Structure 1
Amino acid sequence: MEAGRSSRTALMTAEVRARYQLSDPPRIFDDPLAARMVAGDPDEWVTEYLSGVPDRLMPFMIVRYRFAQDAVEHAVATGVSQVVVLGAGLDTFGSRNPYEHVTVFEVDHPDTQTWKRHRMAEAGIGIPPTLRFAPVDFEQETLAAGLAAAGFDRGRPAFFTWLGVVHYLTRDALRATLGFIGGLGQRAELILDYREPPSTEMSSELRERVAHAKREVEAVEEPLIGFFTETEMADELRAAGFDEIDDVGLAAAITRYTGAPPSESALAAGGHLVHATRGVSR
């Protein structure tokens, strides 16, 4: 990641959200601020990377946001008033937050947040009173310290989203964050996504596509290193204190939200969405 700006992969996912808003309705996820967030000079790497992503794969990249949105809505309706967006990148939920009584904390590297705030100012996207930035350089401070400095209250229920991040993390980094969330004294909920190790049963074409994607993100110093089987991820979550785990394959989630069967690429991608909870009766 280059100093003073957001990661390329964060910019790429924001561009995907913006492009998806141009698709024909019905759409499974609306983000009216996405296009404004990515407006300006196009990033050459992002443009080239997305040129190889067919339009039919857009729901595959979008469905995780709808999954998280539905879970947040239910959590807020049942008493949660703090939402933490981990690895927020150029996410816009904090600016779109429809709940006046819910505080949104965005956690990311200080350089990324500085760059994002410049983008927001240029796009005329304001910072509502319910949005708080929690810059955290994990080489120098902990998630607990960063959130505390931003006003996070460990004594109140909280909901965490952690999308598009786990596959860039070491096991130790994953465990540190899960341990913090699972160790909170109050009700805690978490949405995350992860990928299974590449399957040997993939076609040669799909294997090359996956290998190409890995090479591309490694070229911008954001390598894919965190792969888990479903059993491994469940073990990590239970060890961190979560007592209910709902693991949904991305292919099944696509069918749930679009009503259409997933593409071969989606089936082979090995993606999962997880809703993990501690101290929650669902």
Structure 2
Amino acid sequence: MRLSQKASKTAEYMALFRALETIESPRIRLFNDPYSKNFLSAPLRIAELLFRTPLVRQFIHGVMDNRWPGAFYSGVARTRLIDDVLRSSVQDGINQVVILGAGFDTRAYRLPELRTCAVFEVDHPSTLEVKKGVISRLPTMNTEHVRFVAIDFVEQSLEEILLKAGFDKSNSAMFIWEGVTNYLTADAVDQTLRFIANCASDTRLVFTYVDKAVLNEGSQFVGSKALAKTLNQIGEPWSFGLNPSGVNQFLQDRGFELVEDLGSVDYRSRYMRNRYTNSDVYLRGYEFYRIAQANVK
């Protein structure tokens, strides 16, 4: 759900994080994403290849932690959390999955549970074209159950475009909105939530958001100033956030019941505590990033 005329750079960074996590030992890694490396530009692909050497791996982690404190650990832990929420929903009978701002998300291809679902990947045409170009060169990525939904949010309606793509509004669905709301306007967030709330009962939503306080120039969150500088340099500054204490009411006002709202320290601790038993490095930074789960009333 981006208005950029090129594929999102932050989408590529997330693909890098997933590719690096996949290199970790199967004993400790949070997921296996064999496709993410294919979406990397040449410099990041080189980093991914070098990451396979233990000493270089330690160096790259150090560089990432210095530049974006906590971003890697938050990114891979949130990927696993959303994977788990999605699997649970499919087990409960959900057979429609809508990924808003799909970017280089590969869940439709790496999670076997989704092969029997209709998966709608929604994003700006330029990002989808890049993605489809990569997929066309990877015959192992089965797209029979995937529908690519290109949309320009300035000119087009999400509801109209989804219905044309075959989305069944009378059938419950799982909406994934990862890494997107912080780039939108308040009106865009509101309109999207109200559309989802008007879908079938038992429709579910998992979305990420940032603590509104991090948008202030004087934010006291660790690493927030350096992160803001990087986002401005790549032309993808953050523009929207929520006060965590008000999220429950915010969702109720738009037709949802809040199931869970976790800060990044909480979900990193949930998935990484046994992995870093002698260090709390995985908990440092990115405290402002959060994941909420909600159901349509």
Paired amino acid for 1:154: K
Which whole-Å deviations, capped at 9, do the CAs of 1:168-192 have from their partners, x for residues lacking one?
A: 1111111011111111133211111
The equivalent of 2:82 in structure 1 is: 68
Q: Is the 8 A contact 2:264 2:286 kept in 1?
A: no
The equivalent of 2:43 in structure 1 is: 42
The equivalent of 2:235 in structure 1 is: 221
The equivalent of 2:57 in structure 1 is: none
Q: How does 1:1-282 map to 2 (within 5 A)?
A: 3=5, 5-24=6-25, 25-38=27-40, 41-42=42-43, 52-54=63-65, 57=70, 58-99=72-113, 100-196=115-211, 197-198=213-214, 202=220, 206=222, 209-259=223-273, 260=276, 262-263=280-281, 266=284, 269-279=287-297
Aligned pairs, number: 271
Larger mean CA deviation between 118-127 and 235-244 belongs to 118-127
Paired amino acid for 2:112: P
Q: Is the 8 A contact 1:170 1:225 kept in 2?
A: yes
Q: Which consecutive segments of 4 or more residues in structure 1 shift more than 6 A?
A: none
Measure the CA separation in 2 of the matches of 1:110 and 1:51: 35
Alpha-carbon offset, residue 43 of structure 1: 6.0
Runs of 5+ in structure 1 lacking a partner? none
Larger mean CA deviation between 143-152 and 120-129 belongs to 120-129
Which whole-Å deviations, capped at 9, do the CAs of 1:125-179 have from their partners, x for residues lacking one?
A: 5342111111111011111112112111001110011111111111111101111
Query: Percent sequence identity over matched residues?
Result: 27
Runs of 5+ in structure 2 lacking a partner? 49-59
Quote the RMSD (CA, aligned, Å): 2.7
Q: Secondary structure at the match of 1:105?
A: strand
Measure the CA separation in 2 of the matches of 1:267 and 1:41: 28
Measure the CA separation in 2 of the matches of 1:142 and 1:187: 23
Q: Is the 8 A contact 1:183 1:240 kept in 2?
A: no
Q: Secondary structure at the match of 1:245?
A: strand
Measure the CA separation in 2 of the matches of 1:66 and 1:273: 12
